[in-house]
């Protein structure tokens, strides 16, 4: 069966409902009109016969002078005691002998129905009685009813057609936003262009808010898609450099290297690049596992004060710059954390502080706790971060222009996004305050209630 649209379904449904309701109303109206008209005809018949019966009847005059033959659709007749017609005229087609009764009754002659009513009156100059007979054709009634019904039917049909058409227009209008949503979705499917939006504007009904949510969802999908694209291109870019170096070193070794010193130098360059690739691949793997929530987190009760001091010792030892490291680490702070991941977080923050500070600078590492949180802070007097870059430093592969030169040191712009992930998978958060040329402060907050 061919699918019919919701618009048509709704229109057909309420048109059908209106037809059914109207038919019931029309039938009721028909019955009421019949009753009213019948009542009106009976009233008219009685009233006309009553009026005719009030005149003075002069004896023996044939016909009685002044007796009206026809009034307001009623045929009038006057009969004497012997049933002889002495006034008025029997309507054409009525042939039987007259009978008299003061009850309204109906009789059919030649297929036509008549209402009949009689009234007995006293003769003005004797004790004899006379009968005034009134006859009215029921055809009038049928005609009146059919004309009323015809009008009613016509009016109802016009109302149904107008209401159905108006209803269809309203539904059609209400469906405009739905059509727009469908068109936008189809355009996106056909072109793959995620920048398309429905843009219905402000509206109060549910469809408008659906379109708004749809647009928001498209924003998010587009951003995620762009991030994914950027990530893939950055990752391949980062891998291409060490691969190129390794290939050229291999070429040099096979074609140009003469002495064992040449071989040793090329081999150590290859080793450095391979280590760099291995580090990058390791970090990418960790990030992707974090994304997919498949990274296993081994929570164990850990002395965080010890871990922070250990990281400080290590970083101080490998630092090649003349930078003072100040420790404000409260002792005995413990929590249930993944020791390996938390060490990574501390290392990334402290090593960044070293990397982006110059000789003579100062780094302060602090660890303290209050009632609800454990707070780890690393501040430095380094190059600082521009305000407009503060939001971007958490993105994968993001490196500010000034730090790009640091690439040679093996930094790839993945450290802070890992810090953010580690903080979040521990139920914590990380924040930054920085001023260009003055220094930066990174703070990791771990709620004590977190697992």
Q: Which residues bind ligand ADP (CB under 6 A)?
A: 348, 352-353, 356, 380, 382-385, 393, 398-400, 403, 411-417, 440
Q: What is the DSSP string of 19-80?
A: HHHHHHHHHHHHHHHHHHHHHHHHHHHHHHHHHHHTSPPPTT-SSPTT--SEETTEEEEEE-
- The minimum distance between CB 412 and ligand ADP, in angstroms, equals 5
Contacts of residue 250, defined as CB under 8 A and 6 or more positions apart, other chains included, come to: 266, 270
Buried b (16+ CB within 10 A) or exposed e, 328-367: ebeeebebebbeebbbbbbbbbbbbbbbbbeeebebbbbb
Nearer to ligand ADP, 177 or 382 (CB): 382
- The minimum distance between CB 418 and ligand ADP, in angstroms, equals 8
- The minimum distance between CB 218 and ligand ADP, in angstroms, equals 29
Nearer to ligand ADP, 198 or 418 (CB): 418
Q: φ, ψ for residue 357 (rounded to 5)?
A: -120, 155
Helix axes 260-291, 206-255, angle to 10 degrees: 170
- The minimum distance between CB 264 and ligand ADP, in angstroms, equals 29
CB 198 within 8 Å of CB 215: yes
Question: What is the distance of C-alpha 45 from the center of its chain?
Answer: 67
- Distance between CA atoms of residues 406 and 320, nearest Å: 14
Nearer to ligand ADP, 195 or 405 (CB): 405
- The minimum distance between CB 430 and ligand ADP, in angstroms, equals 11
- The minimum distance between CB 2 and ligand ADP, in angstroms, equals 59
- The minimum distance between CB 415 and ligand ADP, in angstroms, equals 3
Nearer to ligand ADP, 48 or 440 (CB): 440
Token representation of residue 303: 């002395």
Residue 277 is inside which H or E element, if any? helix 260-291
Left if phi > 0, otherwise alpha if psi is -120 to 50, otherwise beta: which for 293?
left
* Closest-approach residue to ligand ADP (CB): 415
Nearer to ligand ADP, 337 or 383 (CB): 383
Token representation of residue 85: 């017609």
């Amino acid at each position: 069966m061919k699918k019919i649209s919701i618009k048509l379904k709704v229109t057909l449904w309420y048109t059908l409902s209106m037809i059914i309701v109207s038919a019931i109303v029309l039938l009721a109206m028909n019955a009421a009109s019949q009753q009213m008209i019948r009542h009106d005809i009976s009233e008219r018949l009685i009233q006309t016969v009553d009026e005719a019966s009030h005149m003075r009847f002069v004896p023996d005059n044939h016909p009685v002078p002044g007796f009206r033959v026809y009034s307001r659709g009623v045929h009038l007749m006057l009969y004497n005691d012997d049933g002889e017609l002495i006034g008025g005229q029997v309507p054409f087609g009525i042939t039987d002998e007259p009978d008299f009764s003061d009850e309204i009754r109906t009789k059919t002659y030649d297929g036509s129905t008549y209402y009949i009513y009689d009234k007995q009156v006293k003769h003005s100059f004797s004790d004899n009685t006379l009968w005034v007979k009134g006859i009215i054709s029921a055809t009038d009634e049928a005609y009146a009813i059919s004309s009323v019904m015809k009008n009613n039917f016509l009016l109802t049909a016009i109302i149904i057609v107008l209401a159905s058409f108006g209803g269809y227009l309203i539904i059609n209008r209400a469906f405009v936003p739905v059509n727009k949503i469908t068109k936008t979705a189809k355009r996106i499917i056909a072109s793959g262009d995620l920048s398309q939006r429905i843009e219905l504007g402000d509206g109060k009904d549910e469809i408008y808010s659906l379109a708004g949510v749809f647009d928001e969802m498209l924003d998010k999908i587009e951003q995620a898609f762009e991030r994914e694209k950027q990530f893939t291109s950055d990752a391949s870019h980062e891998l291409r450099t060490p691969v190129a170096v390794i290939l050229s070193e291999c070429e040099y070794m096979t074609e140009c290297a003469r002495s064992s010193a040449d071989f040793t130098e090329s081999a150590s360059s290859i080793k450095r690049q391979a280590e760099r690739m291995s580090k990058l691949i390791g970090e990418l793997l960790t990030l992707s596992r974090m994304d997919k929530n498949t990274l296993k987190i081994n929570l164990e009760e850990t002395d965080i004060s010890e871990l922070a001091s250990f990281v400080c010792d290590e970083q101080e030892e490998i630092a090649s710059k003349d930078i003072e490291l100040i420790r404000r680490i409260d002792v005995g702070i413990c929590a249930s954390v993944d020791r390996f991941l938390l060490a990574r977080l501390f290392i990334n923050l402290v090593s960044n502080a070293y990397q982006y500070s110059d000789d003579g600078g100062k780094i302060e590492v602090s660890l303290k706790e209050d009632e609800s949180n454990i707070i780890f802070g690393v501040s430095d007097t380094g190059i600082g971060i521009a305000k407009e870059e503060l939001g971007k430093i958490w993105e994968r592969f993001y490196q500010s222009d000034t730090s790009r030169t640091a690439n040679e040191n093996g930094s790839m712009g993945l450290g802070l996004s890992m810090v953010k992930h580690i903080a979040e998978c521990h139920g914590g958060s990380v924040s930054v305050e920085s001023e260009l040329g003055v220094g930066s402060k990174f703070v990791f907050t771990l709620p004590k209630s977190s697992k």
